[in-house]
Amino acid sequence: MLRVRGIFALSLAVLASGFLVACEETSTNSNGVTSPGANLTSSEKPKQLKIGNLLPTTGDLASIGQQMVGAVPLLVETVNSCGGVNGEKVELVEVDSQTDPKAGAAGMTKLATLDKVAGVVGAFASSVSSAAVSIAVPNKVMLVSPGSTSPVFSERAKKGELKGFWARTAPPDTYQALALAQLAKQKGFKRVSTVVINNDYGVGFEKAFVQAFEKSGGTVINKGKPVRYDPKAQTFTTEASTAFAGKPDAVIAVLYAETGSLLLKSAYQQGLTKNVQIMLTDGVKSSAFPNQVGKGSDGKYIISGAIGTVPGSDGKALDNFNKLWKQKKGGSPGEFAPQAWDAAALLTLAAQAAKENTGVGIAGKIREIANAPGEEVTDVCQGLKLLKEGKDINYQGASGNVDVDENGDVVGVYDVWTIGGDGKIKVIDKVSPQ
């Protein structure tokens, strides 16, 4: 797997991409996507669709990234088995984002300027997507994230900063925060505290949760002094003791798995977790997380009994996706794999609808193939066939209906999950933001 390393190499690539963009003419399509590449002749447009995969197989979110990264090559394999896009097989270029904004920016620069992809599935961490989208937009590369849930992207889209080159198949945390607040209220919790990773994901979630929980009549006891931990820290003794202070009914912990496990282990070692409900989010829902936190002196999992929320998957294509995964890979797909499949599906279907393998073409058609009107399709090959025949489609995904709005957002349902005494994670309910 290729990675761009070194400040010098990255700087040259970014400067080169900026120069190329500055030298192109601009135009605006019917969906308001301003494109410097829209004036390319048909002979200059790429014959083959190239897409990138910018997901984490290492770093703080590796335990989840490794569960989802296989969905994109599986989608590409499926598409190529039924003729590809615009008469050519799709080429996939994979880069490890390392759950790091600098590595993600370097990877996005490589994909945009060297590999010249039209679209990218990624990133997963919101902080990485923030870095990547700043490179994708000027280079006219369509970025579709299967898991970056920070509300920051909705805000940037509303300001016109993303110019239509951003979408996601997981709903923003404005919805998940509301769902988690509803869950806390259902459990009878009135006084809670928060501890979050100090990045776009954690801080955005925290602000949305506080607003939703207070609106429901609850109190966030550390609202005036929020606990936000440095993702590059090695010890979390102070953050843990501060978050659990004041005898809250529950601690809302918005974490990444690697660093979050250390924080919760520190809270246990300080004797802070007794009689306090720990409520978690999607950033730590992986089968490896209970083992990362570890067991206590009694041999029981420290984190057993915790509950949390995660974007669920209830799409019409989910059953077929699960069957295909089992057939090709064995077992069941992990968290966010359906969202990653749908992200790649949207890129390929939009390129076919545009009849060109460019980021501009994809950006101009992605909402058209994702939303009504159009014939509902759950099979990506069937969708490609109808598009080739000049028909309109409304793609129904594995994660959900993936109706993409003007800000690139979708609305979803949320699974409620818990960790049992055996360290196994199981889904126990669903909650919809209201």
What's the pLDDT score for residue 390?
97
Residues 176-198: tens digit of each pLDDT: 999 999 999 999 999 999 999 99
Q: Rounded to whole angstroms, how far apart are CA atoms 179 and 311?
A: 10
Pair 252, 192: CB distance under 8 Å:
yes
Q: How far apart are the first and last CA of the chain?
A: 43
**Strand locations in 118-220, DSSP E?**
119-122, 142-145, 166-168, 191-197, 219-220
Q: Rounded to whole angstroms, how far apart are CA atoms 70 and 148?
A: 18
C-alpha 147 chain-centroid distance: 1
CA angle (113 as vertex; 380, 134 as ends), nearest 5: 80
Beta bridge partners of 96: 55
User: What DSSP assignment string belongs to 355-421?
Assistant: TS-SHHHHHHHHHHHHSSSSEEE--HHHHHHHHHTT--EEE--SSS-----TTS-----EEEEEE-T
What's the pLDDT score for residue 434?
66
- What pTM was computed for the model? 0.87
Q: Which domains does the chain have, with CATH numbers?
A: 7-20+50-172+316-395 (3.40.50.2300), 174-312+413-431 (3.40.50.2300)
DSSP secondary structure code for residue 146 in this structure? S
Pair 302, 293: CB distance under 8 Å:
yes
Beta bridge partners of 193: 251
What's the pLDDT score for residue 9?
42
Parts of the chain with a pLDDT under 70 = 1-44, 434
Task: Give residue 341's region: left, alpha or beta (phi > 0; psi -120 to 50).
Answer: alpha
Q: Rounded to whole angstroms, how far apart are CA atoms 363 and 360?
A: 5
What's the pLDDT score for residue 55?
98
What's the pLDDT score for residue 10?
43
